[in-house]
Structures are given as C-alpha cells and as structure tokens.
Structure 1
Amino acid sequence: MRVLFSSLASYGHTYPMVPLARAALAQGHEVVFTTGAQFLPALRELGLGTAAVGMSIPEGYAAAGAGERRPEPGSEAWKKLMTQVFAGELPRRFAVDLQPVLAATEPDLVVHEAGNHGAGIAAARAGIPGVCHGFGLVAPDDFGDFGPTLRAVAAEFGVELPAGELRALGNPFLDVAPKSLQESELAVQRIPLRPVPFAEPGELPPVGGTRPLIYLTLGTAFGDAEVLGRAVSGLAELDADVLVAAGPTVEPAALGELPANVSVHSWLPQAELLGRVDLIVHHGGSGTMLAAAAAGLPQLLLPRGADQFRNAAAVAELGAGTELLGADVTTANVRDAAEALLGGAQHRRVARELAAEIAAMPSPESVAERLPEFAR
C-alpha cells in the first residue's frame, strides 16, 4: 500500500506524525512525507520518501497581510487572522502544491494532520481517502468564519466538504491526546494513538547529579528573550540544576551572564532528555506538553500563543502542573511555582497517572496495522 503523509511546515505539526509514518514504513508500506523543504533531510534520514509542498506558517501570515505585531490571542481580530491563515492561505497553497505529487505517487491513503486542511482537500479532489492525524488537543469549534472560508477554498478545487464541523474534514481522526485532557469530541470515528516524542538525535550535555534537574524551553516558534530571562532568573534561585533550550528565535548570549547552576543551549534532543529531568518549564506547545505528560513530569506552563493557552489550562485543571499567564510570569512567581511543583506529591502523582494513561493508548505500530482499513 502507498501512504502519503502531509503536515504544515512546523516542528509541532510535522514531528507528531513521524512515529506513525515510520511504523507504516516498517510494515512494508510505501511512505511519502510531504511538508516544507527544511524538514525533508531529517525525514529522508529515516528512510521516508519526501516531497516539498506548501508554504511556511510565517509565509501564511505574510500572505494574509499580518505584520510582526499580532492581535491578542482570543480576540476577534486574532480569530479573523487565524481564519485567513489556516482556513485560507495555507490550505489553498497546500492543495495546489499537493495535486501533482498525488498524481505522481498515486497513494491509496492520505494522512493529513489536523492543521493541514489543504492536504485533505487535495486528497478529496483526487478521490483518495483521507485520515486526519491530531497533534494535540482538538481545537474548539468557535471560529465563526472558519468553516465558510474553508468551504470556499475547497470549492475552488471542486470539492464539497461534508456538513457539520470541519476540524477533521469528516475523516477518521487519529487522536494523540489522552481522554483525561481531551475536552472536545468530534463527530467522526476516533482512533486513539499514543503520542510518541520524536526529535532529531543529538548529544545530551552532562546530566544527572544530586540535585533536581529542571528543563526550560519556550519552543521553536514563540521564544522571547525577556520571558526566558525572567524564567531563568527564577529557576536559578532554586537548589537545582537548570538546562535551557533557547530555540531558534533566541540567541543564548541574549540571556547575559548566567549562574553556575544554569546551562543554556540553542537546541537539545528533547525526546532523549525528558526521561532524565524532574520538572519541565515550557510554553505549552502540544508536542512538548504531550511528551512531558508521557514522561510523567509535572509541568509549569508559560503559554505564549496558538494552542498553548488551551494546553496549559487543561494540564492545570487536571492537576498535572500549573500555569502562569502574561504579566504573572515574573522571576518570583516562576521560582515559587517551580519550587512547589518539585516538592508537591499531588502534582507528581497526577503526572504519573497521566503517563500511565498515555502508555495504555494504542502504539503507532498497532495503529499502522489498521491503516489499510481506510485505504481505497
């Protein structure tokens, strides 16, 4: 069987699909992964076929006329911009670019991630069955113009989308979120899929001492030197060692002179690191949040944008961590919250229970065995 995977060109959208793509390849299927060109070398290293399609999310914002200053998350202006980008510019470009790839590869099934509606539209136009792969919690269905905008884009390609909500385009949904965190339901077939962290391999710095180890990251897209600096200052006051992944948007030098218990790196192999730390402090991105949950770690979440506020609220409500929002992200608050999580038996117990729930979800290998059920 030939299977085509397609994601937006983003770590948080691409890497959650890699474990299933690798499992399908290991079971003898032909697999082609289509996304932004910057991810193709790493995917080819895994033995996957590749093709570059679509535009990046920043290019989507630019095409929608957005500047560097973005509207306040949750505001009407923000919802309008999200609709323009994720229901308009991105799906239109992906649907255009994917059509010749589908014609050349003739897949039996297209697995598109939940943010890449354009791949689902292109598959429907070509008459190829689709499966929607989640990357985190299901987004709320409250964007008033999202549905009409996406339907209009689909109509440009001669595709009539199904009635009702369109978060999975009516396709079966591979849900990587454990039920205790997943608030929304979809009116489609739901197939649980264990979230398995993936990161490009790398060398870990020396870790493992007598003190607790804290890992701090604001991810790959929402790094902010000022916020990261306040978090570093707070964590440095604890009797703990602190590993910081500054990410591609923050230069480590921007954090200035650091205490002896803090080590800053541009990038760290997160999937390998999480099993060795005692606490994670992060932005609330879906991939990091689910990877930390799978590792049984208590989490201190400092959401910055996108789906991060929803993720932070879900973890805090469950009791597997706490969140600090906006102006509350101060040196003192980060220090106090981290100290409470390191010493809090209740949060650690809930985090372990969440990890056990995730471990019981079907593996990528078992879900890959089911993919022929959905193919043409």
Structure 2
Amino acid sequence: MARAARAHGHEVLFATGAQFEPTLSGLGLRTEAVGVPIGAGFAAASGNSPTRPEPGSDEWLSLVVRVFGAELPRSYAADLLPVLEGFTPDLVVHEAGNHGAALAARHAGIPGVCHGFGKQNPAHFPGFDAALRGIADEFGIALPAGDLRTVGNPYLDIFPASLQDAEFLAAVDRTPLRPVPFAGGGELPPQAVGPRTRPLVYLTLGTGFGDPAVLRAAIGGLATLDVDVIVAAGPSVAADALGGLPANVSVHEWVPQAELLDHVDLVVHHGGSGTTLAALGAGLPQLVLPQGADQFGNAETISSAGAGAQLLGAEVTAEAVHDAARALLADEKPREVAERVAAEIAAMPSPEEIAARLADFT
C-alpha cells in the first residue's frame, strides 16, 4: 500500500519500529522510527519479570491487554505525535494492531484508516477497550462509543470476506484490499526450480515463533513421505539445532516465500496471517501448527473452511504430521477450497486501486 500510494503521486512517510527501517529504506520509502518492539512492551507490562504466565490463562490475557491496550499504544502515540506535527499528513493509515497510531491521529485531528493484517477475532480480550480508553484519557483524546477494534475508523480488510468474522463484517465500514505477498528478493532453492518428479512441501514456523522441537517433529513426519521438503528455519532456529537431515529435506534460514509458493504443493506452517493469506492466494492446501498470537484463529479458520488441517500443541508429532500431510496431498477437496478462495482474493481491489481512492478517506 505504501509503494502503491507513492506510485500514485502521494507523499508517503512510513513510521514504524527502527528494526524495519533497512527494508523500507531499501524500497525507497521515507521512514521514521517510532514506538518500541512488542517484546519491550511485554517487559514493561510485566515489570521486567523473567517469567511469563501460561498462554491462555487469565494472567496471560491480562498481560496481553496491558501490552496491546496500554503499553504499546502509549509509547507509539507519544512518539508519533511530533512526527505528525512535522509531516502534517492528510491521512494516517494505521495497522489494526497499532492503536497508538490511531490515538495520535485523533489527537492531531487527522483522518485515520485502519489497515487489517488478517482475520478479526470475534471479540476483544476482556478489559481491552477500558485499557485503551484510559490511555486516550492520558492524551486528552475522545474516543467513539462501542467497539474499538478499528478505533472508529474505516477498515481496509485484506482477509477474504468468505472467511472473515461475520459479526465484524456487519459492524464496520469495510473496504476490501487484496493481500499482496512481499518478499525482499533472493534465489529459490534448487528443489523448487529443478525437474519435479514428486510433490514439493514447504515448511516454516515464520520469523517470530521458531521452535526446534516442532520443526524436528514436522521434518520427521514429512521426510517419510514421497516428497521433497524445503524448510525455512527463520532467524530464531539454527540449522544445526535440527540434527541430521534426510536426503529429501533442505533447510534454509530464509527463502523468497512469495515466489516459492508458485512451485509447492502443500504448505506446513505456524498460521501467521502473512503465510496463511499467501498460501490461500496461491490456492494451496495448508497444514497449520499454530504457536501463538493470532495463529490459533487462523488454524481454525483454515480447518473449518476445508482448505487444510490443524495440529495443536502436543498433537504435533512426526506421525501426526505424516498422516495429515499425506491426507492433504491425496485429497483434492482442500485444494479446490483453497483455489476458490484464491479466486476471491484475486478479485479484491489491488493496492493500486485503493491508492487511487485514498482521498475518499480524508
């Protein structure tokens, strides 16, 4: 969207965490470092405690509310306000998880548009709205009544409507926006471009939730199939932590995922919204092994829609991965469902089309 807006003649400033600046600057985008990483938000909200509550517990939900409803919005709003004062934009496009940017835009009197990154949960975590309203009060910002998932702003939805939460669809001013995978370039692994004699499976747990034990189990199950396997281990799992690899498995720290998906037959992954949407857009069946965050909701969505299957927690064993992957490769129905969703995604307005309409939101 940022590149499309710039190509349409708009002046664009991309405000985000400092760790993303090299990638954005490499694309020729003007950047401004604001906010703190999510990990720093968790540290602040937990009083720098070295331990974390059990995911899903009441203590965990309370911590998540403090992080995303208070710590991160406060930091981001404070950092972004002087940026908006100097840049004086006509519109702020803020990510659905970045409520601090929405607060700053309201404080500055600038129209805002909420940009989704995946499926919306049916409901907020208990106490989230109250926490965000408390931060708004600190800045003297008046928020609209009701649901604050979009902070009252129009919503650019990159999730296909057929899989989106129906209650959310009915409640917001929604504009569909085609999800376009981004990858920074690079060479495809040889298994993807050479002659093919059997299916190719892509395995990844993304960049933030790498788990050597989960990857080892998945590799063990997939390697016993008559397939070739490409593994993207990400920055959090070293290749040598995976032990000896079967001949039909290759491990890489990073692969150009957007290009790779054109060559594979099955995606086995963590359920991050980017990989989930990219696989749907490519019409591929998915085996989802969720590890955290929104991944459990994405796994349930894919499984319920018939576009794939999910394995949760202790269910992720080599045998279970083998059986689930074999079934997905043999059954045409998951691919048919995925291809129908791919057609729906292809028909959504492109970033270039939406960029041409940004003035409608100001």
TM-score, structure 1 length as denominator? 0.93
Are 1:73 and 2:60 counterparts?
no
* Distance in 2, Cα, partners of 1:260 & 1:173: 47
SS at match of 2:25: helix
Amino acid of the structure 2 residue aligned with 1:57: I
What residue number does 1:46 align with? 27
What residue number does 1:149 align with? 131
What residue number does 1:121 align with? 103
- The CA deviation at 1:97 is 0.4
SS at match of 1:372: helix
Are 1:268 and 2:251 counterparts?
no
What residue number does 1:311 align with? 298
SS at match of 1:177: coil
* Distance in 2, Cα, partners of 1:69 & 1:134: 31
- The CA deviation at 1:74 is 3.1
* Distance in 2, Cα, partners of 1:342 & 1:185: 33
What residue number does 2:36 align with? 55
What residue number does 1:6 align with? none
- The CA deviation at 1:67 is 4.7
Tell me if the contact between 1:214 and 1:242 (Cα under 8 Å) persists in the aligned partners.
Answer: yes
* Distance in 2, Cα, partners of 1:113 & 1:24: 16
* Distance in 2, Cα, partners of 1:276 & 1:159: 49
Are 1:185 and 2:168 counterparts?
yes
Tell me if the contact between 2:122 and 2:168 (Cα under 8 Å) persists in the aligned partners.
Answer: no
User: Which piece of structure 1 moves more, 44-53 or 332-341?
Assistant: 44-53
SS at match of 2:262: helix
- The CA deviation at 1:158 is 0.8
- The CA deviation at 1:68 is 5.6
What residue number does 1:166 align with? 148
Once the two structures are superposed, residues 269-321 of structure 1 have per-residue CA deviations (whole angstroms, 9 ceiling, x without a partner) of 11111111100000000111001000000000000110000000001000000
What residue number does 2:267 align with? 280
Matches within 5 A, 1:345-360: 345-360=332-347
2:15 to 34, 50, 57: 34
SS at match of 1:185: helix
Tell me if the contact between 1:73 and 1:306 (Cα under 8 Å) persists in the aligned partners.
Answer: no
Once the two structures are superposed, residues 215-273 of structure 1 have per-residue CA deviations (whole angstroms, 9 ceiling, x without a partner) of 00001111100011100110000111100011111111100110110000111111111
1:204 to 188, 198, 214: 188
- Count of residue pairs brought into register by the alignment: 356
Amino acid of the structure 2 residue aligned with 1:30: E
Identity %: 63
- The CA deviation at 1:198 is 0.7
Tell me if the contact between 1:180 and 1:318 (Cα under 8 Å) persists in the aligned partners.
Answer: no
Are 1:24 and 2:5 counterparts?
yes
Structure 2: gaps spanning 5 or more residues: none
* Distance in 1, Cα, partners of 2:148 & 2:214: 35
- The CA deviation at 1:89 is 0.6
Amino acid of the structure 2 residue aligned with 1:331: A
2:278 to 260, 266, 291: 291
After superposition, the Cα gap between the structure-2 partners of 1:68 and 1:283, relative to the gap in structure 1 and judged at 3 Å, is farther
After superposition, the Cα gap between the structure-2 partners of 1:126 and 1:142, relative to the gap in structure 1 and judged at 3 Å, is closer
* Distance in 2, Cα, partners of 1:222 & 1:144: 25
1:194 to 160, 178, 185: 178
SS at match of 1:128: coil
Tell me if the contact between 2:158 and 2:177 (Cα under 8 Å) persists in the aligned partners.
Answer: yes
SS at match of 1:276: coil
TM-score, structure 2 length as denominator? 0.96
SS at match of 2:60: helix
Once the two structures are superposed, residues 7-64 of structure 1 have per-residue CA deviations (whole angstroms, 9 ceiling, x without a partner) of xxxxxxxxxxxxx111101001000101111111111122211000000011111111
What residue number does 1:229 align with? 216
Amino acid of the structure 2 residue aligned with 1:108: D
- The CA deviation at 1:73 is 3.4
SS at match of 1:234: helix
- The CA deviation at 1:185 is 1.1
